[in-house]
Structure formats: structure tokens, C-alpha cells
Amino acid sequence: MSTADAQASLASSTSDDTTGQIRITLTTQDKSVAVPDVPLYVPLNLKRYGLSEVVNHLLATERPIPFDFLINSELLRTSLQEYIVQKGLSSEQTLTLEYTRSILPPTFLASY
């Protein structure tokens, strides 16, 4: 995540502090990048890039691996906040995110 991106996302999280976080769990079919099965409490403004960063942090990877995220087998294309609003959910729910190594081209990734 670029500094500008992160700062922008942080600004939005502090301006809307009370709805700021959500519980997630991360799962994967790919055993080579599996993370411990623990609940995480993450900022709602995280998108795919931020979530990738979380997985990479848990994996303690030297070079970051880009990931895609699926909720109920549907690719996450927005922030978690936008996702729950679209689906009529709330931050009281726990989201289960399945991640896979990203197959999207790097240039496309950079635009996130």
C-alpha cells in the first residue's frame, strides 16, 4: 500500500471512528500460504491491498505476495465497508474471507 493510500484510508477511518472495525477470519485452500486460524479485528476501510498486507504480515513473507479475496465465492472488489453496505450486512458480523494467490496482472494490481 502506498503512503498516500494508507493515509487516505486512515483519514477515513478516523473520521468515521465508531463504525471503524470488523471481525474477519481468513481461510485458504492453498496450504503453502495458510495462516493461523485466529479471528482478526480489522479496519473496515481495508480493500484487497490492505488485506493482502495483513496476510503477508501473518506469513512474515520477505517479498509480499499479492492475494485475491473471496467472500462466499465472490471476488471482493471494494472495501469491506462498501461490501457490507452493498450486502445489507453490519460490522457486527464476522466475515470469512478466502484468499488465493492473485492471478491478476501486476499493472492491474497497482491500480488498487
Partner 1 sequence: QVDVAKEEAYRSVEEARDLWQRHERATADLSAALCEQLRLILEPTLATKLRGDFRTGKRLNMKRIIPYIASGYKKDKIWLRRTKPSKREYQIMIALDDSKSMSDSHSVQLAFDTLTLVTKALERLESGQLSIVRFGETCEVVHPFQKPFTSEAGAQVFQWFGFTQVRTNVHSLVEKSMALFDEAKSDTKADMWQLEIIISDGVCGSHDQLQRLVRRAREQRIMLVFIVIDGLHKSAETGGIGTMSQSILDMKQVAYETDKETGQMSLKMTNYLSSFPFEFYVIVRSISELPSVLALVLRQYFTEIAEVRE
Binding site for partner 1 (CB under 8 A): 1, 3, 6-7, 9-10, 13, 17-21, 23, 25, 27, 37-43, 46, 50, 53-54, 57-58, 71-72, 87, 89-96, 98
Partner whose binding site includes residue 77, from Mg ion, partner 1, none (CB under 5 to 8 Å by kind): none
Q: How far is the CB of 81 from partner 1 (least distance, A)?
A: 13
The Cα 104–Cα 82 span in angstroms is 21
Closest of 71, 101, 106, 80 to residue 9, by C-alpha: 80
CB of 111 to partner 1, least distance (A): 19
Q: Retrieve residue 3's grid coordinates.
A: 503512503
Widest CA span of the chain, in angstroms? 38
